[in-house]
Amino acid sequence: MAKNVRPRVKVPKKAAAGEVITIKTLISHTMESGQRKDSDGNAIPRSIINRFVVDFNGENVLDVTLEPAISTNPYFEFEAVVPEAGEFKFTWHDDDGAVYEDVHAIELG
């Protein structure tokens, strides 16, 4: 189980209907690639987040497959359309089966 995993998401509080907004996300995670060796020369087992999904009111915005070549503390910046008031839902899937979630509401205005 990865330790101290903490998602951080930056979403504007308000947007006009149909506006395209920029979202930034970062989740603290060691993202152990499986390529590194410890001081005894044994390979450190892989432990990464392998999938990141963003939905808005149940409709998909972005779905990313992550491989070990994604840096520690995976960062994503992307754009999303806001057709109505609602909720962005961010989901990270860990190799160990853990799922981390974050939800951000956005209003029209």
Partner 1 sequence: MELTRRETLIIGAAALAVAAVPLRARAATVDDLIAEFTGGADVAEGGVELDAPEIAENGNTVPIEVGAEGASAIMVLAAGNPTPPVATFNFGPLSGASRAKTRIRLAGTQDVIAVAKLADGSFARTSKNVKVTIGGCGG
Which H or E element spans position 76? Answer: strand 75-82
Kindly state whether residue 40 participates in binding partner 1, applying the rule CB under 8 A: no
Q: Which stretch binds partner 1 (CB under 8 A): 3-11, 78-86, 98-106?
A: 78-86
Q: Which of 6, 8, 35, 109 binds partner 1 (CB under 8 A)?
A: 35
Name, in order, each residue with C-beta under 8 angstroms of 20's C-beta and a sequence gap of 6 or more: 79, 80, 81, 82
Kindly state whether residue 85 participates in binding partner 1, applying the rule CB under 8 A: no
Q: How far is the CB of 21 from partner 1 (least distance, A)?
A: 7
Kindly state whether residue 33 participates in binding partner 1, applying the rule CB under 8 A: yes
Distance CA 79, CA 30 (A): 26
Kindly state whether residue 64 participates in binding partner 1, applying the rule CB under 8 A: yes
Distance CA 38, CA 50 (A): 23
Kindly state whether residue 1 participates in binding partner 1, applying the rule CB under 8 A: no
Kindly state whether residue 103 participates in binding partner 1, applying the rule CB under 8 A: no
| Residue (of 52, 63, 60, 62) closest to 26 by Cα position | 52
Contact 46, 33 (CB under 8 A): yes
By the criterion CB under 8 A, which residues form the site for partner 1?
20-22, 33-37, 46, 54-56, 59-72, 74-81, 83, 97
